[in-house]
Amino acid sequence: MLQHAGYDLIILLETVTALLYWAGVIAMWRARRQQHAGLTLGYLTWQVCFMSIGGEWFDMWMSKQWNGEDSAFRFFMTFLVILIFVTRFEAPDAPTHPRDAE
């Protein structure tokens, strides 16, 4: 029963991740700033649920039938790289020469 509850939780988190992505798409379409909740939840879902819980707690890495750690790693690294890219700070246009600052 605990495994089924965990599986249902993963499906719920993936669904919420998709909904937050769509909210982000709509927000981008309207050219408004949107918090990066979809990326964050997606990263946490794949890192915590699949890599940490599935991989270590349920020994997913030992399965000969289905070992999803490689796929989970690719997913969460993709989320992480995109999250870093879209949240990086960009300084406003600064003068290129100290004399231009006056």
* Residue 73 near residue 51 (C-beta atoms within 8 A): yes
More confident site: 97 or 55: 55
Q: Which of the four pLDDT bands, split at 50, 70 and 90, describes residue 32?
A: very low
- H or E, element range at 94: none
Our CA dihedral for 47, 48, 51, 52, rounded to 10 degrees, sits at 140
The predicted structure's pLDDT at residue 99? 57
pLDDT exceeds 50 at position 49: yes
SS (H, E, C) 45-76: HHHHHHHHHHHHHCCHHHCCCCCCHHHHHHHH
Q: Is the dihedral of CA 72, 47, 45, 61 positive or negative?
A: positive
Chain CA centroid to CA 44, Å: 6
